[in-house]
């Protein structure tokens, strides 16, 4: 017979972090006291079961506790938070429990907070938990980098990005310096191969796309007079634009050997850095939903 003193002690909600997580779960699921007891025995019983179950339970507890922290920072009593429909509740819980990457953990907690906030109008798009569940930590870092880089660009009174011709030189320099410096940090941290693979994934998830607007002011074909009254037709701009279209099509269909996080063009001795991709509306909605304002 085994020694009772050696039996692991199982006390649910023993720690403060588990208690905080339980309070969020209780409010999100609109559970009764008896209900939360049953819920915690199932979800927080990390000492019971296999290692994978324990890992998922720990992930869930940590993110629910972080959600409670968000409500405290926002100054919103948890009792005023909105309960979630069962479908939304378990979609978020399921995604939370499967992720321990710090970048994605923060996004899941923010998504949970926004879904429960009573002070903002927020409707959870069912696609968002599904998309978030397919992201890697590198994907999250790159998305935030692109979002922050675009945020540095000035906008007009309607909130649309201003054309390059309308941006002040100092603002454009600040944007380009950010793209160069932060892009180099990400490459140094993860390596070019992992970053390239991540961008391919973001394209397949419809979070990135390749901008295809054409500058109509460009003369694709120019007819010029050469010496001796000869007529010369310059197709160089047309060839460049066709090559650019072909290159962008290959980027869009992930048909390149590697994806570059940033690009630059050279004018004289200067390098002008820019982002080769744009974020889709889905990516913008995802980041907005997973950010606490």
- The DSSP H or E segment spanning 21 is helix 16-28
Question: Which residues does 24 contact at the CB level (< 8 Å), separation at least 6?
Answer: 64, 65, 67, 68, 71, 78, 81, 112, 116
Give me the long-range contacts of 240-245 (CB less than 8 A, separation at least 24). Answer: 241/214, 245/212
pLDDT of 10 reads 35
Q: Report helix, strand or coil for 232.
A: strand
Interstrand relation of 230-234 and 263-267 (parallel, antiparallel or unpaired): unpaired
Let me know how long the chain is: 293
pLDDT of 244 reads 62
Quote the CA–CA distance of 195 and 146 in Å, as a whole number.
13
Phi and psi based region of residue 229 (left: phi greater than 0; alpha: psi -120 to 50; beta: remaining): left
Answer whether 259's CB lies under 8 Å from 196's CB. Answer: yes
Residue-by-residue pLDDT tens, the chain, 293 positions? 444 444 343 344 456 777 788 788 888 887 654 444 455 555 555 444 577 777 888 888 889 999 999 999 999 999 999 999 988 988 998 899 898 999 999 999 999 999 999 999 898 999 999 999 999 999 999 999 999 998 887 776 766 766 666 677 788 888 899 999 999 999 999 999 999 999 999 999 999 988 755 555 567 777 777 676 677 777 777 676 665 665 666 666 666 678 889 988 877 777 888 898 999 999 999 999 999 98
Q: Which residue, among 20, 66, 61, 67, has the nearest Cα to 42 in the 3D structure?
A: 61
Q: Which residue, among 138, 120, 132, 127, has the nearest Cα to 63 in the 3D structure?
A: 132
Answer whether 64's CB lies under 8 Å from 33's CB. Answer: no
pLDDT of 6 reads 46
Answer whether 240's CB lies under 8 Å from 108's CB. Answer: no
Side-chain-side CA neighbours of residue 165 (13 Å): 2
Quote the CA–CA distance of 152 and 164 in Å, as a whole number.
13
Answer whether 43's CB lies under 8 Å from 60's CB. Answer: yes
- The DSSP H or E segment spanning 271 is strand 270-274
Domain ranges in the chain are 4-133, 138-286
φ, ψ for residue 69, nearest 5 deg: -60, -40
């Amino acid at each position: 017979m085994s020694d009772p003193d050696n039996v692991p002690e199982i006390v649910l909600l023993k720690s403060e972090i588990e208690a905080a997580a339980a309070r969020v779960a209780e409010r999100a699921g609109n559970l009764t006291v008896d209900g939360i007891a049953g819920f915690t025995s199932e979800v927080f019983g990390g000492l019971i079961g296999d290692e994978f179950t324990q890992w998922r339970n720990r992930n869930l507890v940590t993110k629910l506790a972080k959600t409670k922290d968000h409500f405290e920072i926002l100054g919103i009593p948890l009792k005023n938070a909105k309960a979630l429909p069962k479908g939304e509740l378990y979609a978020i819980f399921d995604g939370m429990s499967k992720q321990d990457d710090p970048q994605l953990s923060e996004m899941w907690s923010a998504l949970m907070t926004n879904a429960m906030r009573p002070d903002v109008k927020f409707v959870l798009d069912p696609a968002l938990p599904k998309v978030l569940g397919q992201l890697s930590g590198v994907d999250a870092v790159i998305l935030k980098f692109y979002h922050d880089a675009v945020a540095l660009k000035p906008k007009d009174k309607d909130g649309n990005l201003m054309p390059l011709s309308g941006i002040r030189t100092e603002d454009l320099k600040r944007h380009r310096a950010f793209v160069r410096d932060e892009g180099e940090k990400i490459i140094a941290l993860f390596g070019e191969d992992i970053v390239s693979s991540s961008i391919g994934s973001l394209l397949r998830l419809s979070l990135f796309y390749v901008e295809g607007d054409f500058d109509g002011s460009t003369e694709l074909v120019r007819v010029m007079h050469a010496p001796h009254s000869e007529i010369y037709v310059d197709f160089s701009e047309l060839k460049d634009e066709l090559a650019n279209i072909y290159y962008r099509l290959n980027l869009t269909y992930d048909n390149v050997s590697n994806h570059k996080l940033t690009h630059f063009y050279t004018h004289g001795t200067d390098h002008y850095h820019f982002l080769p991709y744009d974020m889709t509306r889905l990516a913008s909605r995802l980041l907005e939903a997973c950010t606490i304002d």
